Structure 1
Amino acid sequence: MPLEREIIVLGDIEMGAGNLTDDFISDNALSELIIELSKRPHAIDLVLNGDTFDFLKCPYFSANQLSYPRHITSEISINKLNLIYHAHNKVFRALGKFCKDKNNKLYFNIGNHDTDLVYLGVQKRIKELLGNPKNIYFKQVYRYKNVHVEHGQQYDFLTKINFDKLFLNYRGKEILNQSFISFGLISRFMHMKEAHPFLERIFPRKDLLKLQRRLIKKLTRRTVGYFVKSMLYYPLRYFYDPTYTYPRELFRELYIRLKNVHWDVDNVIPTFKRKKKHSFKKDRIFVLGHIHEKFVEDKDNIALIHPGSWRDEYDLDINMRKLIPRPKRYVQILITDVGTDYQVIEIPTNRTNLNFDKVINDELKHVKLVAKEEKFHPPLI
């Protein structure tokens, strides 16, 4: 049963600048995995399935200060990439080692947090940082035989990318045409993230919000305000700014989210099933990201897989008021002459459970504490 190809898929790493908006601290675990893959005796396709980099929440460094500009040029994206590189150099070195074997292939699928990858200048800079190998590819979707891998933001109304119009013109400059919610996060929520750097790491959101009534009021007020202004005020106030347009279905989306107190990304599986029915006739294994929950559905010879996120995230035990660190996972797909098989592999973690109330009382302290536990040293905290 000779091995034709091994495909490794992991996603939602969300490497940032090592500041308060950066939620990735597992540099050691990820680097060890990549180096182990590079030592295997056969070629590997390593698919980083979207949101590898958190350009969206990564600040821009200029004039000796950090900011979150709304209008993202190629130069700004490269500036952010350099910050990410310095914060997570160990991961870049491991990827560079993986790419030294010319038979290996490294794929960066594009997600809503790293839409900046569409810039050729960003792609060129990544290749430079990895030693200028020839075996790096940037994709919207990875396909090989009956395997289909994509991030999944295209099946979430608020985060989908307009791949037919990736760039806008603003004041004579080419800028990134991001999703509606991405523009909103940049403009309205980055300072809130800096003020509450730990809260976004806690799941499920509904249980978190039950314990944080003041936060839900603040979040709802800010979100509704932005939605309403996006429909009634910003298009007039910023008439010549193309980043202030909004999707037609926005009012309906606002109503649904208010009704359900739902301020997180959508479950993309139902929409994916509806829109990709034709793909089920030819493909067998579908791996998605975007949703940070583990999900495996295997029936009628079709496997739908979410391996989960590589960010620092926690499950909230609402009764014990305890935060349990989530494990990291990846998907291994083996293609042989007798068929295609897969498994979701979990990387053991040796992390300490946290007391929810203590975390809430001092989020910054616990951001530093968990980074230290992972032996990660955030340079901008």
Structure 2
Amino acid sequence: MSFDEPLPWPAGLSHDAVDEVMVVVSDVEIGPGGPTDDFPQSAFLGDLLLRYCEPPFDGLPLTVVFDGDTFDLLKTPTDDGRFPIHITEAIALGKLERVLAAHQPLMERLRAFLAHSGAPRTLSFVVGNHDMEILFSGVQERLREELGHPERVLFPGVSHQRGQVHVEHGQQHDPLFAIDTEQPFLEHAGERVLNLPWGTVALLEVAMQYLPELHQLDRLKPKRAVLEALPEVRDLLLSAYWRYWTRDFWQRYLNARDPLRRVTWSMVKEVAYRFGTGDPDVSMQDCRRLLHRRRDETTLIVLGHEHEPAWWSSAGRRVLRTGCFRNEWELDLEGGAHRLLPKVYAEVFLKDGAPVRSHLAEVEAPPPAPGAVPKRLSDVLAQIPQLRAAHEETDSQARRAHEHAESKEPSRSLPGFVETLREVLGRA
């Protein structure tokens, strides 16, 4: 798709057959700027959306659904560099301000989009696992203030429904990151905090310590091939997660009554699956099942989350899975010429709330500055000894602290893993 020409109208589709258009963009993951930001050239997305204010779309009502993980608040630290698991509204607002400051060119374009003088323009922000913070009313108010036209900025929660079209990010079908929609907030230490999924808590407590050194690898696909090519990195991460799930998590679970630390069979099964298979990717249930589970008028489901574009249809219903808008590269093990992947999003054309045409669209974004990915995977290895030494020192400190506590209070010594597992599953 070239910006030198008008955006294309679907071949064979009459303008009279359409009274509304929906554009669905997922997994943009704009961050706080700097090397860990996965989409620093976000102004490109704003330029693309402004094209929908020009012919042949200018006279039609149009909604852009940001389908989750729009803001990478998960990987945005606080001002003092921490990644706390107890996220209050104040912490959420602080992280949001850092992201907004780094992406003012995009915000300016979104304000211009909403100010379109023709048919109305609307922005709808669906919650994803990277931006659960937008559940806070204060975060929503701040975004409405930033974007202007507050009546045209929507926050529908974990899904956006328009007639027969259902849009959701997809984390609700992923056992690691499903949000408890009946209880999205908890009380901790007298404050209201996000009820984070257990997978999110684990990422914050384990993976974020390696973000400064290993963030480039997260942008390369397929992840399994990256880790197979770098066994030192794979072993480091496996060791960190093994320590977490066989010791640290249980210690914290038993020694502190924290509402974020809970155990379910689905969690135990998923952890066992991850260690057994080494699968590093997020995963939803078979999307085709969604076609048969719904018992309402929905005929089109749009999802994100997995960063892999695809579509299925059956019995008059369809699932579209967008790719992502953040920067990702296809791995080149031979020459290091990793290919920047195109951005994939969805267009839906509606009449009286029913989709008359829907498809995935693909655009090529300008590349970010050099250094977003390692030219050679071996370049990362130089940092592994330092990371491993830090990992071993942390492990040693934890062991000494446990031995000290055990010598002072032998009756409160930490049970073995199996005994702990039996206790917590009996309690859960």
C-alpha distance in structure 2 between counterparts of 1:309 and 1:184, whole Å: 23
- In structure 2, the residue matched to 1:167 is 185
- Confirm or deny: 8 A CA contact 1:141 1:149 kept in the other structure: yes
Q: Establish whether residue 261 from structure 1 lines up as the match of residue 278 from structure 2.
A: yes
Match of 1:344 among 341, 360, 381: 360
1:35-74 matches, cutoff 5 A: 35-39=50-54, 40-61=58-79, 65-74=80-89
TM-score norm. by structure 2 comes to 0.78
- In structure 1, the residue matched to 2:208 is 190
How far residue 30 of structure 1 moved from its aligned partner, in angstroms, is 0.4
Q: 1:97 to 1:231 in 2, by over 3 A?
A: same
Deviations 1:124-157 (A, max 9, x none): 0000111242111112211122211100000000
Q: Which has the larger radius of gyration?
A: 2
- In structure 2, the residue matched to 1:120 is 137
- In structure 2, the residue matched to 1:110 is 127
Q: Establish whether residue 21 from structure 1 lines up as the match of residue 36 from structure 2.
A: yes
Name which of structure 1's ranges 334-343 and 244-253 shifts more when overlaid on structure 2.
Answer: 334-343
- In structure 1, the residue matched to 2:100 is 85
Match of 1:202 among 201, 206, 220: 220
1:1-381 matches, cutoff 5 A: 1=14, 2=16, 3-39=18-54, 40-61=58-79, 65-101=80-116, 103-139=120-156, 140-229=158-247, 232-237=250-255, 239-266=256-283, 268-270=284-286, 272-274=287-289, 277-279=292-294, 282-336=297-351, 340-349=356-365, 351=367, 357-358=375-376, 360-361=378-379
Amino acid at match of 1:138: F
C-alpha distance in structure 2 between counterparts of 1:231 and 1:70, whole Å: 13
Equivalent residue of 2:253, what SS?
helix
- In structure 2, the residue matched to 1:368 is none
C-alpha distance in structure 2 between counterparts of 1:56 and 1:75, whole Å: 15
Amino acid at match of 1:36: R
Q: 1:317 to 1:269 in 2, by over 3 A?
A: farther
Q: 1:308 to 1:71 in 2, by over 3 A?
A: same
- In structure 2, the residue matched to 1:373 is none
Amino acid at match of 1:73: T
- Confirm or deny: 8 A CA contact 1:316 1:324 kept in the other structure: yes
How far residue 360 of structure 1 moved from its aligned partner, in angstroms, is 4.7
How far residue 186 of structure 1 moved from its aligned partner, in angstroms, is 1.5
- Confirm or deny: 8 A CA contact 1:196 1:363 kept in the other structure: no
C-alpha distance in structure 2 between counterparts of 1:172 and 1:50, whole Å: 29
TM-score norm. by structure 1 comes to 0.87
Query: How large is the Cα RMSD of the aligned pairs?
Result: 2.4
Equivalent residue of 1:341, what SS?
strand
Q: Which consecutive unaligned segments of at least 5 residues does structure 1 have?
A: 365-381
Name which of structure 1's ranges 297-306 and 189-198 shifts more when overlaid on structure 2.
Answer: 297-306
Q: 1:339 to 1:69 in 2, by over 3 A?
A: closer
Q: 1:150 to 1:227 in 2, by over 3 A?
A: same
C-alpha distance in structure 2 between counterparts of 1:157 and 1:306, whole Å: 18
- Confirm or deny: 8 A CA contact 2:331 2:338 kept in the other structure: yes
Greater RCO structure (CA 8 Å; 6+ sep): 1
Equivalent residue of 2:70, what SS?
coil
Q: 1:176 to 1:284 in 2, by over 3 A?
A: same
> What is the count of residue pairs matched by the alignment?
358
Q: 1:18 to 1:143 in 2, by over 3 A?
A: same
Deviations 1:25-49 (A, max 9, x none): 2313201112222342221011000
Q: 1:190 to 1:333 in 2, by over 3 A?
A: same
C-alpha distance in structure 2 between counterparts of 1:72 and 1:111, whole Å: 16
